[in-house]
Amino acid sequence: MDRGLVKNFIVKDLSRFGRDYLKVGAFTEVAFPEKNVRFIAINDNVDSEREDDNSLAPFRNLFNEWYARDCSKKIKAVKHAKGNAGLPMTANVPYGYLKGENYPQTHEWIVDEEAAVVIRRVFHDYASGKSMTEIARELKNEKIRTPAAHKLSLGVKPNKMTTVPHGWNSQIVRQVLGYREYCGHTVNFKTYKKSYKTKKCLPHSLSEQKIFKNTHEAIIDEELFELVQEKRGTYRPRVTKTKSVGLFSGVVCCADCGTIHRYNAQRETRSPFYFCAANKRRIKACASPHNIQEKVLMEKVLQNIQGVMSKLKANESELVAFLEKRAQQTTTRTLENERLLLQKAERRDQELDVILQRLYEDNLSGKVNDARYAKMSAQYELEQATLVQTLSSLREAQEKAEEASAGIVSFIQVAKKYLNPTTLEPDMVRALIEKIEIGEKTKVDDKIKQKINIIYRFVGNLAE
């Protein structure tokens, strides 16, 4: 059209040209006349060369857009009803599952064992300290089919076609690690679109998603999934030049500055060790590298875990009672403080609702002029918006405090999987331990001492 090659533009009707009122109008009212292009919509009896035929065209364009908007609204309502009912909203089941015989009447997902083996391996490898790139490289070298290639081999059309059947990469591994469906749950409303006019999907936060638990057979357990998600959000293991990853990578940190320790295994003449990265880079005011040899740390951690397991085997109820008593002491103080703050914030929130209502009525009656009303209402609304955030934080803190007892049950369940440890394994370390704090080395009576705090998942430091 810009080169003058278009003389006539003919469509069946205006809706076939487009349902975006502004874009269609930009062409029919501006672009076509400027380029001397004749526009004809046959069924709507529109011809740009006959001015009397075009008077209703803008209204038709507006109605066409309204129709598309209305259809989108109705379709969205149907999908929301389906999602809130706990029915899967995906057209294709995730990698690792197959549709049941009576799908979609029953919405049954059955485990695809061939893919499930790969999924379990990916989760366990990542939990044990391997990076996504390293996992992808191994799967690629072993000629294991990617999720898309695997679906094609089963006669199922994947969301994205592939020409490289074994082309694993870190992005594919990341997608596999993010599927909560592998725990046996249905997850709806993971993404949304801001408008029916755009195809771009935006992610919903976890709080905005709807999770329906135990709707199909699980491939991995919940503890492993949560461990992987926590690991994904906090630390990426550093692979040394020798292609090795430390047993405690991402777990060991500095007791003084909190920085994650780096793993060094590059010198053949020296044992692998961990050191504070902040001290090395002079990022934080950390007085010493807080370094520790891996073999020394392995010995200390194994002894500590064996001690905990011996207590668990000897008298489980006594260990649980100790943990509950300790948690209750902390929780009682926290809950009491949070409860008082929460009550105060809720009262103020209710007061602001009343104040804003009265202020609005005074403005209507003329007691408060518009300028004064705008200024005062803006101040109160700002205070209320801040209060809403405070209430959300307080409720979240209260929920965390109440979850302490549930954490004890989770710890006992995980610990029972490793009752007789003789050596340390990566999956055991990451399943049991949240972090290990390495203190600064000190000299006492000509002996070097170093404090090591082992913080267990769900229950904290068991040496207390």
DSSP class of residue 29 equals I
pLDDT for residue 129 is more than 80: no
Rounded Cα distance, 395 and 373, in Å: 32
Read off φ and ψ for residue 221, nearest 5 degrees: -90, 165
Give per-residue burial for 425-455: e unless 16+ CB within 10 Å, then b: ebbbbbbbbbbbbbbbeeeeeeeeebebebb
Q: What is the pLDDT of residue 374?
A: 85
How long is the chain? Answer: 464
Average pLDDT of the chain is 85
Q: Is 89 helix (H, G, I), strand (E, B) or coil?
A: coil
DSSP class of residue 220 equals S
Interval 84-112: pLDDT, tens: 999 998 888 999 999 988 887 888 999 99
CA-closest candidate to residue 322, choices 421, 463, 454: 463
Q: What is the dihedral of CA 290, 128, 158, 80, to 10 degrees?
A: -70
Rounded Cα distance, 415 and 433, in Å: 10
Q: For residue 352, how many other CB atoms are within 10 A of its CB? A: 15
Interval 426-444: pLDDT, tens: 888 988 998 999 998 888 8
CB contact set of 229 (below 8 Å; sequence gap of 6+): 177
pLDDT band at 383 (very low <50, low <70, confident <90, very high): confident
Q: What is the CA radius of gyration of the chain?
A: 31
pLDDT band at 334 (very low <50, low <70, confident <90, very high): low
Beta strands in 285-351 (DSSP E): 292-293
CA-closest candidate to residue 194, choices 83, 66, 84, 72: 72
Rounded Cα distance, 459 and 306, in Å: 16
Query: Where do the domains of the chain lie, and which CATH numbers do they carry?
Result: 8-84 (no CATH), 97-233 (3.90.1750), 239-464 (no CATH)
133-137, 202-206, 350-354, 396-400: least confidently modelled range: 396-400
What predicted TM-score, i.e. pTM, was given to this entire model?
0.60
Rounded Cα distance, 37 and 48, in Å: 9
Q: For residue 394, how many other CB atoms are within 10 A of its CB? A: 20
- The letter for the amino acid at 428 is M
Rounded Cα distance, 341 and 333, in Å: 13
97-111, 152-166, 256-270: least confidently modelled range: 256-270
